[in-house]
Amino acid sequence: MNEDKKNKKPYKPSGKPAEQRRRPAHSERESGPFKAGLEVRVTAAKLLAAVIDRKISLDGMLDLVHGNPAYRALSDADRALTRAILNTALRHLPRIEAAITSLIDTPLPEGARALHHVLVIAAAQILHLDVPPHAAVDLAVEQANRDPRNRRFAKLVNAVLRRMDREKDEILAATATISPVPAWFRKRLVALYGEAEADRIAEAQLVPAAIDLTVKSDPAAWAEKLGGTVLPTGSIRLTAFDGAVSALEGFDEGVWWVQDVAASIPAKLFGDLKGKKVADLCAAPGGKTAQLIAAGAEVIAVEQSVNRLARLKENLGRLGYEAELVGGDLFEFKPAEQLDGVLLDAPCSSTGTTRRHPDVLWTKGPEDVAKLAALQEKMLRHAVTLVKPGGIIVFSNCSLDSLEGEELVVRVLKDHPELRRLAVDPKDWPGLEGAISPLGEFRTTPAMLPASENFVGGMDGFFASVLQVR
């Protein structure tokens, strides 16, 4: 059997109680599933350290071409397990840390970060994942033994994690009242949404997002074919799907594209787009560009990142759509004549996307929200200059913070008397009336679209405002 195939087998410890099991022999530890399992945990701990200690976002580290070399060297199945462990650890971090603290007599020393990461990675598996707990414990102990910083704590790791496994239900119940999001974020949510809604949003981000698709036409028929549910907006939600979307029917034919239901809203706020010339100023990877084209607009897609522009091109190609692609900074973009519309789906703190990117809350802080709000305001002021009288600007982002949304729009409106806000009419959005503010702006949160028996609820947090140049 070649090494790769052997590594794909999950590590299965013996059925004996943990206390009676022997440490796997040296030869077992150096080969096969045990070694592969250990590489997953070591890589997960390293990536966790990069996120929470060095504020490095996971997206880049998990990139299959430019990402972390240890992660890229894993098999497909082991990469999936690494991602599952990391995302789970980050979603539940404050509760996991409280669980660990409750099981040790004295708090972990400040400098014992490597030990912290080993324990968190193992605890995420024991408390929340379908991994044999004995495997999680054995691998964590081995991980501790192999790291000179942690070797002296190997017995502690063993004792804490075994007890965590034995007392799992009580521990989960005892930590359930702790907010699962970092303190800075909870404070901000409470200030913006009130305590009860803040807690609902924080709980909602614990549930991994379902896959939503935007279809070119006939959502009902495609929902049936793909086993999904049609959402109030016409998007399709695949609740039970867990695999590569590229294997699904309709992918190769370019019938649909992946897009969270909330992300599909801004491009629908322009009204009739047939024959209109519209610029999508922050276009990649292109979900909204595709919607604008599908609605009949002639689209100029502006994107600064070379890699992301290439992805946009590939995505449009698959869908059989065409747009004028402009690579570069939107501040340099000056169309020959003013446009009928501009979509500004601006780079933001992304705090509305934590169901799929739980690292966001640990890599960003209030200072990033303020910085990104300032950049977006500058971008919106530039967007205003590109649109002809009567033309429409839709400003959107996936932040939950009013600094990047409602407050920013108020400031821009104050300085631009030629601009007015067009209120979205809740009657046009059955099922999403609660996501439209009294001023007629969209404000979705992960706590919206409640779950039911066969339906994973939730949607990304999004803000969208419609502005018209007089």
Name the residue nearer to ligand SAM (CB basis): 48 or 283: 283
Binding test (CB under 6 A) with ligand SAM, winner from 287, 358, 405, 461: 287
Residue nearest to ligand SAM (CB): 282
Helix and strand totals (H; E) in the chain: 19, 12
Among 72, 163, 168, 308, binds ligand SAM (CB under 6 A): 308
* The binder of ligand SAM chosen from 86, 127, 278, 330 (CB under 6 A): 330
Residues making up the chain, counted from first to last: 470
Q: Is 11 left (phi over 0), alpha (psi -120 to 50) or beta?
A: beta
| Positions 66 through 95 that interact with ligand SAM (CB under 6 A) | none
Closest CB to ligand SAM among 43 and 304? 304
Residues 424-443 that bind ligand SAM (CB under 6 A): none
Residue with token string 């909204």: 288
CA–CA distance, 460 with 355 (Å, rounded to integer): 8
Binders in 94-153 for ligand SAM, by CB under 6 A: none
For ligand SAM, which residue of 180, 219, 228, 285 counts as binding (CB under 6 A)?
285
**202 sits near ligand SAM (criterion: CB under 6 A):** no
Comparing C-alpha atoms, which of 467, 466, 468, 464 is closest to residue 265? 464
Least CB distance to ligand SAM at residue 182 (A): 22
Rounded CA separation 187/417 (Å): 34
Q: Are 414 and 399 in contact (CB under 8 A)?
A: no
Residue 34 or residue 395: which is nearer to ligand SAM going by CB? 395
Among 233, 304, 353, 445, binds ligand SAM (CB under 6 A): 304
What distances in angstroms separate CA 277 from CA 161, 220, 266, 273, one per listed residue?
60, 30, 17, 8
The Cα–Cα gap between 373 and 380 comes to 10
39 interacts with ligand SAM by CB under 6 A: no
| Closest distance of CB 328 from ligand SAM, Å | 7
Instruction: Provide the phi-psi class of 326: left if phi over 0, else alpha when psi is between -120 and 50, else beta.
Output: beta
Active site residue 398: yes
Catalytic residues: 398
- Per CB under 6 A, residues contacting ligand SAM are 263, 282-288, 302-305, 308, 329-330, 345, 347
